[in-house]
Structure 1
Amino acid sequence: MLTVLLVEDDRDLAETVIQFLGIHNIDCDYASNGQYGVNLLQKNNYDVLLLDINLPRVDGITLCQQARDNGNNTPVLMLTARDQLKDKIAGFNSGADDFLVKPFALQELLLRIQALSRRRNGHAKVLKHGVLSMNINMREITLGEEQIHVSPIGWKLLEVLLRHAPEAVARERLQSAVWGDEIPDSNSLKVHIHKLRKALNVEGEAPLLHTIPGYGFAIQERKAL
């Protein structure tokens, strides 16, 4: 089941959207103002964020920008009555992935949610999970207080893993992200995962990179040894 967060101060519209999405097996949390939306986004993981621009307390542009600056890569679909180019530019610059101008057809909303949830990459500038942080713009990876270095392929693998953390990523998806359709021999992914795991290892600490048997790999927070 997909889970979305709707941040919208029009309660009538919100009720209609929530009921419609429920019919299509999409669970929807609701915030009537921007600050409550910020709180929910910090506490929970969502597949898609549905975000109005004109919101009380914290407006949609600011909310989206703060989320991206904090490393949140949840795809954002902005719902807005504004259809001017300057407003869309401001939204995209803040990290939005798509726009839907009110009034909109609920079926189109559903299709866009499904498309964004499949993409699941957003425009985060910093990807974080636990003590691990990847700054996309600066091309830096930090583990706690220390900066670490990985190969170009290791970077691609880690970026995909962090964008989905703590969920597991299938081997096939990782191979496609790195090599596209020209996948080398079957041992290549294993070799590069081994090198990435070594780069992320800290003596005396539990591992961050986990093998999910029969499926793939996942970045998950350390647990006590």
Structure 2
Amino acid sequence: MRVLLVEDDNAIVHALTDILSAEGLSTVSESTQSAALAQLESQHFDIALLDVTLAEGNGFAVCAAARKTAPSMPIIFLTASDDEYSTVAGLDMGAVDYISKPFRARELVSRIKAALRQANPAERILSAGDIQLDATSAQVMKAGQELFLSALEYRLLLYFLQHKTRLITRENLKDAIWDSAGEYVSDNAINVYIKRLREKIETDPTEPQIITTVRGMGYKVGK
């Protein structure tokens, strides 16, 4: 997935580039309207993150051009402005989301992934083994039968499937759960949550095949 980032604050550019790279997203950044338009004319992007106010030009003009060159590409506006006019104007131009600065990194990544899933229907269905998760309806199926997970169990499973084949550490899980639960999560709590989730998604929870343990390191979900 390729991201066009149009932002003239170097600190934000560097921070976002690192965050998106860690999520497997390739980022091309530009700080001016004219440079962004040139990128849209010459390259394909899966999503665009646009600052409204630029040193040269503005994000609205970039959005208008993108709607012509890449009409199906999702656009998210990033801006320090939270006034109603700018929000409505951006959404009316076809943006799928509007995030005011300062923003939380994990929240931004989550909203970027949501926009990509909406633009790419195949990305809405996540699977491992005989488990399928529909991120649009939040429905989880095992071998064709629906599973009923708690909100926290669903959040954990979604995180595991979104990071399939990667090593997932306990710190990764704490961050993911902390964001959704709003409170600190201990190692013992992680053990309990994983045990409960395995009891629902694994054919034999004592011999897990979907969420496997990487001894001394964390967990991994295979294909």
TM-score (norm 2): 0.51
Mapping for residues 34-183 of structure 1, pairs under 5 Å: 34-70=33-69, 72-120=71-119
Could you tell me whether the CA contact under 8 Å between 1:4 and 1:29 is conserved in 2? yes
Q: How has the CA–CA distance of structure 1 residues 38 and 120 changed in structure 2, closer, same or farther, with 3 Å as cutoff?
A: same
1:4: which partner in 2? 3
2:82 is paired with a residue of what secondary structure? coil
User: Segments of 4+ in structure 1 off by > 4 A?
Assistant: none
Could you tell me whether the CA contact under 8 Å between 2:51 and 2:59 is conserved in 1? yes
Whole-Å separation in 1 of the counterparts to 2:118 and 2:59:
21
Could you tell me whether the CA contact under 8 Å between 1:62 and 1:94 is conserved in 2? no
The number of aligned residues is: 121
Identity of aligned residues (%): 32
1:149: which partner in 2? none
Whole-Å separation in 2 of the counterparts to 1:63 and 1:49:
10
Encode CA deviations 1:20-78: one digit per residue, 9 max, x unaligned: 11111111111111111111111111111000000133210111012214453210000
Whole-Å separation in 1 of the counterparts to 2:103 and 2:95:
18
Whole-Å separation in 2 of the counterparts to 1:17 and 1:70:
24
Encode CA deviations 1:72-127: one digit per residue, 9 max, x unaligned: 32100000111111111111122211011100001011111111111117xxxxxx
Whole-Å separation in 2 of the counterparts to 1:25 and 1:66:
26
**2:31 counterpart letter in structure 1:** S
Q: How has the CA–CA distance of structure 1 residues 29 and 71 changed in structure 2, closer, same or farther, with 3 Å as cutoff?
A: closer
Could you tell me whether the CA contact under 8 Å between 1:52 and 1:79 is conserved in 2? yes
1:74 is paired with a residue of what secondary structure? coil
Whole-Å separation in 2 of the counterparts to 1:29 and 1:58:
18
Could you tell me whether the CA contact under 8 Å between 1:81 and 1:102 is conserved in 2? yes
Whole-Å separation in 1 of the counterparts to 2:56 and 2:48:
18
Whole-Å separation in 1 of the counterparts to 2:24 and 2:68:
31
**1:30 counterpart letter in structure 2:** S
**1:28 counterpart letter in structure 2:** T
1:198: which partner in 2? none
TM-score (norm 1): 0.51
Gaps of 5+ in 2: 122-223
Gaps of 5+ in 1: 122-159, 161-225
What do you get for the CA RMSD once the two structures are aligned? 1.7
2:150: which partner in 1? none
